[in-house]
Chains A and B, each alone.
Chain A
Amino acid sequence: MSLNGAAYIAGAYEHPTRKATDKSVALLHAECAIGALEDAGLSKSDVDGYFCAGDAPGMGPISMVDYLNLKVRHMDATDIGGSSYLLHVAHAAEAIAAGRCNVALITLAGRPRSEGMATGTTPRAGNVAQPDVQFEYPYGPTVVNVYAMVAQRHMHEYGTTSEQLAWIKVAASHHAQYNPHAMLRDVVTVEDVVKSPVVASPLHRLDCCVISDGGGALLVVRPEIAASLKRPKVKVIGMGEAPKGQMGGNVDLTYSGARFSGAAAFEMAKVKPGDIKYASIYDSFTITVLVQIEDLGFCEKGKGGAFVADGNLISGVGRLPFNTDGGGLCNNHPANRGGITKVIEAVRQLRGEAHPKVQVANCDLAVAHGTGGLLGTRHGSATLIMERE
């Protein structure tokens, strides 16, 4: 059974805060839920499915379901890091198709900025029962240096340059200037990026995403319910998920799980990368975008550097408008997890509700893709393809 068309995204809400010193994480989740319900024109009593991931306080979905006092008959707290929420949309579509729920609420929220978290630069031991920890923690893996090794290898294999990577940030900044909520609204140049301090070679400060508080929520609904609502209809037509790790020591940093999740999503959707009008691509770092663009099939492996250069990702300028909200690089990376904002901006584009300066003309087909965890060690990839109906 194909899940193409099994569900629609009826509600999408991005919390406007980027620093929430006066709110708990649970309340941020709740405010995102309220926002998505208002956006869809649905109410709390319509929700019969709930999805969250590791940012939700408490055990799996249990505490947040109780906090919101939801009466659900389907719950899922699958955590694949920042890409969890794209996977949740797919799992919600599966649950809807199986008759397990009609209206699935997905929430994300966190406040790493208020909590002063050195998100990307601090090694964390975690639980030694996690089987890789004792063999990696002594070597000081941080978020940024593990992604940086992917960039270093890409440069070695394919001749990719720091200037090419910088174009990804430049494109994001061109979009962020129109987003009043974006953390970084100044347009930057390639020179600004490559002259910013190196954090972990070859990645510079401006190759890295922001650290922000905030959150987002989505409502995934049965087709009949989507038809009864007043909002433009965004149909989920393709979905894919895949893990990728070290493969028992056969480490290959040249590709990500997007190779598999993307192929599955495009096959289900029966469309090709060349058909896509807008792409939300996870941008924890510039290199994340480059590798995923290649793996999703927007260009040949190794040609990502040339593909992203010269403004090719800027809306109204290039062939593949991406992250028109400014993305994680400039706008928002709530809870250090950028997956939900990727779906939200794709929904805005498909509804024609993006900022007029970045709205893609006749945007009827979009992809949203996420990487969760660490690109250079082990991660989860999730891809969604959505269509305006």
Chain B
Amino acid sequence: MAYQQRKIPFAGAIDSNPETKPFFEGCAAGVLKVPHCAGCGKAHWYPRGVCPHCMSQNLSWRDASGQGTIYSFSVMKRAEVPYCIAYVTLAEGPTVLTNIVDCDLDTVRIGQKVALRFVPTEGGPPMPMFTPA
């Protein structure tokens, strides 16, 4: 099945929540930034102003390698343009909600290695998605 890209919506603005603005600025520059905690040494997802593991606010952004593995997925068939929602486990640790793009969606499998691909959105910066590596 030939891949067709649906239109990707964006919610709000990059500074709707001030503390996550650097993430979206990273997206605009083509970099996936993952929040990392100096308090406990762990990365987390989704990005937020406090570490969900230890409640430290001593956080910094680290550039992700862009490599990941599909943890689970579902192809939304009942949609104007079918698309694949997925959880991808990043090489850096956290599992992130995303889309699998630019491939035959019927061939997507759990355990597949995937690589980062930014896809334009309507009204916001491009968002990080993944395609089979």
Confirm or deny: B61 has a beta carbon within 8 angstroms of a beta carbon on chain A.
no
Using CB atoms, name the residue of chain A closest to B44: A248
Give Cα A148–Cα B72 distance, bound, in whole angstroms: 9
Give Cα A248–Cα B47 distance, bound, in whole angstroms: 9
Give Cα A150–Cα B72 distance, bound, in whole angstroms: 8
Which residues on the B side are within 8 Å of A149 (C-beta)?
72-74, 85-87
Which residues on the A side are within 8 Å of B16 (C-beta)?
128-129, 134
Q: Is A152 a contact partner of B44 (Cβ separation < 8 A)?
A: no
Give Cα A247–Cα B93 distance, bound, in whole angstroms: 12
Q: Is B110 a contact partner of A140 (Cβ separation < 8 A)?
A: no
Q: Which of B8, B47, B52, B75 contacts A200 (CB 8 A)?
A: B75
Q: By CB atoms of chain A within 10 A, which of B79, B83, B124 has the most?
A: B79
Which secondary structure characterizes the binding site on chain A? Answer: mixed
Using CB atoms, name the residue of chain B closest to A208: B78
Please classify how large the interface on chain B is, using the bins under 10, 10 to 19, 20 to 34, 35 or more. 35 or more
Confirm or deny: B62 has a beta carbon within 8 angstroms of a beta carbon on chain A.
no
Give Cα A130–Cα B87 distance, bound, in whole angstroms: 20
Q: Is A249 a contact partner of B95 (Cβ separation < 8 A)?
A: yes
Which residues on the B side are within 8 Å of A146 (C-beta)?
74, 85
Q: How many residues of A contact B (CB 8 A)?
A: 44
Q: Which of A129-160 contact B (CB under 8 A)?
A: 129, 131-142, 144-146, 148-153, 156
Q: Is A200 a contact partner of B74 (Cβ separation < 8 A)?
A: yes
Which residues on the A side are within 8 Å of B98 (C-beta)?
139
Q: Is B85 a contact partner of A246 (Cβ separation < 8 A)?
A: no
Q: Is B110 a contact partner of A152 (Cβ separation < 8 A)?
A: yes
Q: Is B110 a contact partner of A128 (Cβ separation < 8 A)?
A: no
Q: Which of A123, A131, A156 contacts B110 (CB 8 A)?
A: A156
Confirm or deny: B58 has a beta carbon within 8 angstroms of a beta carbon on chain A.
no
Give Cα A51–Cα B34 distance, bound, in whole angstroms: 41
Confirm or deny: B38 has a beta carbon within 8 angstroms of a beta carbon on chain A.
no
Q: Which of B43, B78, B93, B121 contacts A138 (CB 8 A)?
A: B121
Using CB atoms, name the residue of chain B closest to A133: B11
Q: Is B75 a contact partner of A139 (Cβ separation < 8 A)?
A: no
Confirm or deny: B12 has a beta carbon within 8 angstroms of a beta carbon on chain A.
yes
Confirm or deny: A228 has a beta carbon within 8 angstroms of a beta carbon on chain B.
no
Using CB atoms, name the residue of chain B closest to A145: B74
Q: Is B71 a contact partner of A129 (Cβ separation < 8 A)?
A: no
Q: Which of A121, A125, A131 contacts B9 (CB 8 A)?
A: A125
Q: Is B124 a contact partner of A138 (Cβ separation < 8 A)?
A: yes
Q: By CB atoms of chain A within 10 A, which of B9, B77, B99 has the most?
A: B77
Q: Is A153 a contact partner of B72 (Cβ separation < 8 A)?
A: yes
Q: Which of B58-76 contact A (CB under 8 A)?
A: 71-76
Which residues on the A side are within 8 Å of B111 (C-beta)?
156
Using CB atoms, name the residue of chain A closest to B43: A249
Using CB atoms, name the residue of chain B closest to A148: B74
Q: Which of A128, A136, A150, A377 contacts B17 (CB 8 A)?
A: A128
Q: Which of A126, A132, A156 contacts B72 (CB 8 A)?
A: A156
Confirm or deny: A198 has a beta carbon within 8 angstroms of a beta carbon on chain B.
yes
Confirm or deny: A65 has a beta carbon within 8 angstroms of a beta carbon on chain B.
no
Using CB atoms, name the residue of chain A closest to B71: A251
Q: Is B52 a contact partner of A248 (Cβ separation < 8 A)?
A: yes
Known contacts A129-B17, A138-B9, A145-B74; can you find 15 more A-B pairs with CB under 8 A? A123-B9, A128-B11, A131-B46, A138-B10, A139-B97, A139-B98, A149-B86, A198-B75, A198-B77, A200-B78, A246-B95, A248-B45, A248-B52, A250-B94, A251-B89
B contact set with A: CB distance below 8 Å: 6, 8-12, 16-17, 20, 24, 42-48, 51-53, 71-79, 83, 85-87, 89, 93-99, 110-111, 121, 124, 127, 129
A contact set with B: CB distance below 8 Å: 121, 123, 125-126, 128-129, 131-142, 144-146, 148-153, 156, 197-203, 246-251, 253, 376-377
**Can you list 29 A-B pairs, Cβ within 8 angstroms, ordered by A?**
A121-B79, A126-B11, A129-B16, A131-B17, A138-B8, A138-B10, A138-B121, A139-B97, A139-B129, A140-B6, A141-B97, A144-B76, A144-B78, A145-B74, A145-B76, A149-B73, A151-B74, A152-B73, A156-B72, A156-B110, A200-B74, A249-B44, A249-B46, A249-B93, A251-B87, A251-B95, A253-B72, A253-B87, A377-B97
